[in-house]
Amino acid sequence: MSVLKRINQIADIKGIKITALESKIGASKGVLSRAIKNDTDIQSKWISRIVENFPEINPTWLLTGEGEILKKEQSPADKSAHSLSADFKKLLVEEKINFLYERIENGVLGGGDHPPGKKKFSLQEIYFLSESIETKLKTLTEMIINIVTHPRVLEILNDRKK
């Protein structure tokens, strides 16, 4: 069975039409339905967005057809890693907001006077800084998830519970 047929199966399981699934993942109307109809490839970003928007779907099954459609119940260590990841993301977003707020206070957006020696940033520069921070946030979050879900770390956590 192809990835496209498995995507169709996800829509069936969820009780939604492919157009609703397209909307949920931010794809234009017809991106998936045309690919399914014509049996053509889709961009990997749509598969990633399906995995992101339907966390209960087993990504291995989606890509290869191996394993169960739905993920197994998460272990306490996995739940802990997910919780840590969510808390970390929140913290980094707060840091991003504080960083940008500080820049604004220092005359970043100024339409007038700003302190001598302080650089005045354009909206484009602020947007770039924002995107750069967001990219680093994603990379750091992925690294933390990889660390806390590493088999040796999970083994140590399980040993501590005993």
Q: How far apart are CA 161 and CA 26, in angstroms?
A: 41
- Please state, in angstroms and rounded to a whole number, the distance separating the CA atoms of residues 78 and 63: 21
Q: What is the pLDDT of residues 106-127, one digit of tens each?
A: 655 444 444 555 555 566 666 6
Assessment of whether the complete model's pTM goes beyond 0.85: no
Its domain, for residue 52, covers 3-64
Give the model's pLDDT for residue 156.
75
Residue 69 in any domain: the answer is no
In a domain, 57, yes or no: yes
Q: Two tokens at 105?
A: 């206070």
More confident residue, 1 or 57: 57
Domain boundary among 40, 64, 88: 64
At 58, is the pLDDT very low, low, confident or very high (cuts 50, 70, 90)?
A: confident
* Structural domain contains residue 89: yes
- Beta carbons within 10 angstroms of residue 56's beta carbon: 10
Both 55 and 85 in a single domain?
no
Q: Which residue has the higher pLDDT, 124 or 46?
A: 46
Between residues 128 and 69, the one the model is more confident about? 69
